Amino acid sequence: MVSAEYCICDAVGCSEHCVVFFSATIRPENPVMKKTLGDFGEYIAQCMPKYVQHVQVTNGNELEVLIHPDGVLPVLSFLKNHTNAQFTNVADICGLDVPTRQYRFEVETFSILCMHFHVLACISMHVFFVTKNEAISLATFRSDC
């Protein structure tokens, strides 16, 4: 991560009378990580072609996987238990309602985190309505599973 601090008065030897600002933290581009995530996304799609509809890597080096609603438990279990994945932490879950679409709800599981490889993944699916199955599916990430 790149971060720098600077003072607005530009005085040499600035003391406590100035306010110190921090510039935005920008994640540097990592083409090796992007290629590795792309290859792993293709591997997921090959292992689970019945459930995985689309895979892409974002500019921030996050893996995004669009799945079929029936594949919530199998895909999340695969990403948790596979040796090369180990996504064991779920940070948050988000839902989006777009009434103009036929499948109006987009349920997204953001920030599935792999602490071992320091990787984030975003799993999303489009559904007509949200069922109890999708809501409970994150019990997959309990430690006793």
- For 76, list phi and psi in degrees, rounded to 5: -65, -40
Helix, strand, or coil (residue 67): strand
pTM: 0.69
- What is the average pLDDT across 60-65? 87
Q: What is the pLDDT of residue 38?
A: 93
Q: Does the structure show a pLDDT above 50 at 1?
A: no
Condensed to tens digits (0 to 9), the pLDDT of residues 29-47 reads 788 999 999 999 999 999 9
Our CA angle for 28, 87, 103, nearest 5°, is: 90
What structural domains and CATH numbers belong to the chain? 29-141 (3.30.460.80)
Condensed to tens digits (0 to 9), the pLDDT of residues 80-129 reads 899 888 988 887 777 778 888 877 777 766 668 888 888 888 888 877 66
- What is the average pLDDT across 54-63? 88
